[in-house]
Structure 1
Amino acid sequence: MKTLRIGSGAGYSGDRIEPAVELAEQGDLDYLVFECLAERTIALAQQARISDPDGGYDPLLSERMRRVLPFVGVQAGRRRLRVVTNMGAANPVSAAIEVRRIAAALGLDLKVVAVVGDDVLKVLQPDFLLDNGQSVGSLGERLISANAYLGVDGILEALRADADVVITGRVADPSLFLAPQMFEFGWAADDWQRLGRGTLVGHLLECAGQVSGGYFADPGFKDVDDLARLGFPLAEINADGEALITKVAGSGGRVSRATCTEQLIYEVHDPAAYLTPDVTADFSRVGFVEEGVDRVRAQGADGRARPEQLKVSVGYLEGWIGEGQMSYGGPGAVARAQLARDVVLKRLELIGVKLQDVRAELIGMDSLHGPRSGVEPWEVRLRVAARCEERSEAVRVGNEVETLYTNGPSGGGGASKSVRQVVAVASLLLPRNAVKPRIEA
């Protein structure tokens, strides 16, 4: 029986590159998938494309492709390796052009195909309601993006066109992994059980190092070896969608029943109805069996008919955040930091800074869990951040923290300040027939 090997080259936009190269070189893969597109990431990419029409794709695309393209395509004595990725972000076409340029510079003859159609900004109507209660029309000029979560359709079309590299924009994370399985095994679009199983594979692999022990690690409780050389996972899959999760031999990390179980429940609201564009997956009876060191069999997934609507991620501008920080150390550090906090909050009130929201915290004391009792630390860092409608108001927040240098209390140091624009994200649902994925070769 044919076995398909799919590896996960990234779990988010800024992920490490070395484990992906290790997979490409030593993983004996058919497919290497880079999942790099969070909801806020694509809104930021759309914002970047506004200032640069040729930009808007993942900033690490070029470096990642330079490192892995030498292993892509048909090579003697190796499986044919293909790459599937959503690093196209807000501009898959420009991303594909960049990958072709890199391939040519490396002397490689590769077919690179872009999948488009997820950008549905022009489809939205002013009376459409977002999940936060606002209407699309109320956003006005603050609206910057609207991207539908595509499924496997565009990727399948690209693979049928014999693409070596498939570059997408917003595609549901598991779909990046499901499409190669459907293509290689010839699964029908309504073979719900196999699609459910294939979606489980995608869900386990989509966060890369999380399932191979990265986010799992907790010293003294859940120890993981050689975390600095964490290996990213791969799946060995058969034609029925049964999969074994593993990693490159000798790489750091761990693949176990426990790591897979933690990843299984990641971002799953209802295990019996995990909604994707391709299938309503049922993970409620999933189980894991350890078949050896770093070899875990995943079984029990099922599926039902896919939803008739697609989720759309809408990005819009929501003001500015101004922030300032200052450290205090030694005897009385906490008391001085508390006084500094009181001073800054009072100053913001005295000078009339227009705030929508403000947060003032002592990192190491109350920034995560609120006020607590116990032994005071020898050092503490004050952080004051506020959201403002205008950038000029946000700037004043960090300035007030910085003035603690000379205006007291004593012993402050290591001041920093910053201002950043807030890109907020909300969601809505669109009928499936309003979204038209297609490829551009």
Structure 2
Amino acid sequence: MHLVAVISVAMISSVLAQDTALFLSGGSGVTGDSITSHVTLDSAVEVQGWSMGICHDTANLDVTAAQDGPTTMIINGGGPPDFNELNVLPDGVTVGVVISFVGSNALPSGTGYGLLDIDYQLTGVPAPRGFPIDATVSFCNTLGAPAVDVVIVSGGASLIPDQTNAFIQIIPPPDFCLDLSCEGGVTDSILTWNECTPFDYVLVHRDGDLIAMLDAGITEYVDAGLDPGTYTYALLGVVFPDPTSAPEVVSAICETQIIPITADGVVPTAGHYLGGTEVTVSGSGFMAASDTEVTIDGQILVDLVVLDDNTATGLVPVALNGIGVFDVRVVNSLGEATLVGAFTYGFIRGVVNGDSQLDIGDAMYLAYYLFVGGEAPDCLEAGEVNGDGMIDLADPIYLVTYLFRNGPMPLAPFPEAGLDPDAANGLGCDP
């Protein structure tokens, strides 16, 4: 008696040690589609029967049908099981199967056995341009009264199998749109776009001519090597919703200008009429040709260096036409760009001796001019330091007081070069 019990326990323990696994398959579709979820079995042991419940996300899925899988239909010597109870409930499906009451047939060990197929209608409605809905289908022990357990029967023992659940994804409805952005450059047009729903392909037209057909997933196109001018682009995004439907086509239009060279700014914006101020000019296309020049009032910058396609530096030459506001031009064989009135040739009040720097030499220059017959300053207004409207002894005294006794600084323009803020009442500056 004890021996029989020991043998029985040993047999059951041996069965329980084996692996069995149930799998649910998922799928994807749009609202209203029907998806079939397949229940399959992998087992390393002989199987005499099974029971299970399969629950689903009732907010987003409805069960429309359930039927035996291909294995179940022929499992009992080529026919159906001796016992097969299949129930479709509002919140899931239950099934109980005994292959053979007399043990004449069983399911041998193996993989991929098709036990059950369940058809679901996708009822959830994702928001347009939103995220998909992941509706769950899962094995469960909560359906029926009494509840049906998920078990595999082998050797008279009820085994709890490994269980792999699944999602049925409900895809947002197509919302076809094409947000297009175009940017012109020196020689290239750059087209970028966003797609609400990925296109199957995109057609690119320039001025009415087809220039490219792009595969799905590409969202940028560079139209390179263009001549200067204005170009109109039309993009057509094409989507085939399904193999039997006509394609959906969405279009967008944009325009670009190809300007071979541009000028955006100059720093600093003012310098002394004697020249020597280092300036940096920014823009684009500076290296599109090898003959780029930067000029102020028609004169090329001294020691001009084109650092890269967007930057050039150099020293301002001596003013050709006196003080005032002048254009900055960037020019090469592909074109030119002008910054109108971008640079000011000015003077620094108190600087009169020709070296563009205020020091004691300027005070002495004024004294020589006033009392020894020295030359007048090139820019008379620069010698009128204290703002009384005339050049006299008070001006060199004003300068040395500022330089050596912490006196007040000269009036504007000072310490940077600029124009006389009260030129109408000044002495003039005509170097």
In the superposition, the TM-score normalised over structure 1's length comes to 0.22
Kindly indicate whether structure 1 or structure 2 has the higher relative contact order, using CA contacts under 8 Å at least 6 residues apart: 1
Q: Greater strand percent: which structure?
A: 2
Task: Flag the structure with larger Rg.
Answer: 2
